Structure 1
Amino acid sequence: MEEVNQTGGLGRTESSGLVFRQLEIFHAIMTTGSVNAASRLLNVSQPSLSRSLQRLEDQLGLPLFHRHRKRLLPSEEARRLFGEVDPIIAQMRALTDSIAHVIEGQTSLFRFAHTQSVGRQLVSHAIRLMKTRQPELKVFLDALPRMQHVDYLLGGKGECLVSLALLDHPLLVSRVIARAPLVAAFSADHPLATLDMLRASDLAGVDLISFEHDGPHFAAISTFLADAPTLPREVAFIRFADAGISLAYQGVGVALLDSFTLAGNLPDGLVTRPLENAPEFIARLYWNGERPGSRFVQAFGDALVRAVALYPDLTPVKEPSDD
């Protein structure tokens, strides 16, 4: 059995105050009602545990228990102290379990964020690929607008973030995952459905589903339409790209969207067309360089690249070699 040393088990002198081991012993006696049961619970010899309890009472300057036959009856002060100690013991035990899981490689919760464009297909596919190798994996997904990206990573709420936005901050590190072009999407009965490829001039006067006038989508659309003699009519404005799929399907207008959003299955009756000299989007995995995160960040990046290879309109981007 473990022996509690003369300083309460953690190498501190009595004059330096209480230590966690003393509180743990007090908690065990309170919950079991006897020194004998507490000693078995903590795997500590009864004489050693009794001495530790006596030192605790001496330090506090008050009796914590009244001896009655074979039972220890807590004093009113002990009951009040227990109310403070009980949640601390629970937290420390949970922390001990978490540390053990980390050491043993059993930590399985992976929290990260993504934008709607990459979240519709690519992120979900990457998670499935990760879980085939790590079935115990649990994920917590945060879907964030672009203006929250930097604060999310600097605040440490999640380990990483996948986005089409270019984030410029000295503490952020990124890995390029893939690139994909701007594409037109519209209902199958739209007049443009007869064309195999669209030029900017083909959109002259056409009803257009546009974006807020900032961010990567609006920039790409503006670049594509820069030389158009006549601009399309902006009839709807969206913040998230996946909303363009529903609006285009309903015939509201033509949506110019990134191919990440349009990857995978689309509603019957929605068609897409490539654009001549289409601007490209780049998907990047970002994380805080001062908080490199768990092993899941690297595994997630690798899974994203493997998922990209399954979609013909997305082009994986290989990381540069250190050689």
Structure 2
Amino acid sequence: MQHRQLEAFAAVMTSGSASRAAELLGVTQPAISRCIAELERELGFSLFDRIRSRMVPTFEGRMFFREVDSHFLAMAKLEAAAARIREFGAGELKVASLHSLGGRLVPKALASFQKAFPRINVTLQVQSSSQVRDLVASGQFDIGLCSEEVDLNGVEHQHFADYRMVAVIPRDHPLAVRVVIRPEDLHDQPFLQLDFDERLSRGLQDAFATAQAKPRVVVDVEYSATACALAAEGAGIGLINPAAIIGLDRSGVRVLRFEPALHFRKHLVFPPGRPRPQLVRDFLGVLAEVRNRFALQLDNA
């Protein structure tokens, strides 16, 4: 049983005659008749009664047409699904991000992406870097953004961005008039201790040791945005990732350069051994554009 035979049969059933079926399919009438005859031989029953040059469907022919019609409907669904996959990938995008990028940068990128692809279902989860890595490694999520300290074995990965550490200082603090903050400036100052990764923590400790400076830790915090909020309330001084506070109210703080230069390094992670569909590649393009716009804002801040 060949597709062209089923196509000829369906065309006769819907058009009412072999001649009109031939016109619909762009073939000759003898070709239609030949296809119908071949199909009848294979099926073992007649599909039409030939009555005065007319083709009248038999009972068996009408029963068989129901099945053929279902077949063509299923084929149409498959073709539509294939078109969606060609254009959008799976039709669903699942993104996981660490908190410092999941508060502003990633949501802004997803909003832009949704405007371009409004029919795509998008999921965003904001988790710790280790949880982001696990969600992607297991194949549950398509893309992850995490810090460099996580174990990158078992995932494909690439560098995403580096963000230079900045100081957030209460606006009425004496140090707020400075242009640059150095380790020695923070000696015995109330300090909002961020949960740094190992590399950053070691670099900061070395900087303080070289300057013989020891800040007075008053609050341990997990997120840069929290440190910024605490600084705005006068609780202390924080050293944070500037990308985490873009768009936040900073009227209560000054954001100042910190020297020596220390950077928060972020990575993109992907499920292992899986080709990246067009949908993921499209989102990565949008994400890169937003990252670059954020970088300009940080440079001009």
Q: Does the alignment reach a TM-score above 0.5?
A: yes
Q: Contact conserved, 2:97 with 2:126, CA < 8 A, in 1?
A: yes
1:181 and 2:164 aligned: yes
Question: Partner of 1:222 in structure 2?
Answer: 205
TM-score of the pair, normalised by structure 2: 0.67
- Deviation of 1:185 after TM superposition, in Å, equals 0.7
Q: Distance in 1 between matches of 2:283 and 2:202?
A: 28
Q: Contact conserved, 1:182 with 1:220, CA < 8 A, in 2?
A: no
Aligned CA RMSD, in angstroms, stands at: 3.3
1:165 and 2:163 aligned: no
Question: Partner of 1:206 in structure 2?
Answer: 189
Question: Partner of 1:87 in structure 2?
Answer: none
SS in 2 for 1:227: helix
Q: Contact conserved, 1:178 with 1:305, CA < 8 A, in 2?
A: no
Question: Partner of 1:281 in structure 2?
Answer: 264
TM-score of the pair, normalised by structure 1: 0.63
- Deviation of 1:158 after TM superposition, in Å, equals 0.4
- Deviation of 1:202 after TM superposition, in Å, equals 0.1
Q: Contact conserved, 2:233 with 2:252, CA < 8 A, in 1?
A: no
Q: Distance in 2 between matches of 1:275 and 1:298?
A: 35
Aligned residue type for 1:254: I
Q: Please, which moves more after superposition, 116-125 or 164-173? A: 164-173
1:271 and 2:254 aligned: yes
Q: Contact conserved, 1:221 with 1:256, CA < 8 A, in 2?
A: no
Question: Partner of 1:105 in structure 2?
Answer: 87
Q: 1:110-149, aligned counterparts within 5 Å?
A: 110-149=93-132
- Deviation of 1:251 after TM superposition, in Å, equals 1.4
- Deviation of 1:221 after TM superposition, in Å, equals 3.7
Q: Distance in 2 between matches of 1:127 and 1:217?
A: 29
SS in 1 for 2:289: helix
Change (3 A) 1:149 1:135: closer
The percent identity for this pair of structures is 22
Aligned residue type for 2:226: A
Aligned partner of 1:257 among 240, 243, 253: 240
Q: Distance in 1 between matches of 2:199 and 2:244?
A: 13
Q: Distance in 1 between matches of 2:198 and 2:96?
A: 17
SS in 2 for 1:151: helix
Aligned residue type for 1:291: R
Change (3 A) 1:224 1:302: farther
Question: Partner of 2:277 in structure 1?
Answer: 294
Aligned residue type for 1:206: Q
Change (3 A) 1:98 1:286: farther
Q: Which structure's CA Rg is the greater one?
A: 2
Aligned residue type for 2:106: V
> Which residues of structure 2 form unaligned runs of 5+?
1-5, 10-59
Q: Contact conserved, 1:209 with 1:255, CA < 8 A, in 2?
A: yes
- Deviation of 1:109 after TM superposition, in Å, equals 1.9
SS in 2 for 1:261: helix
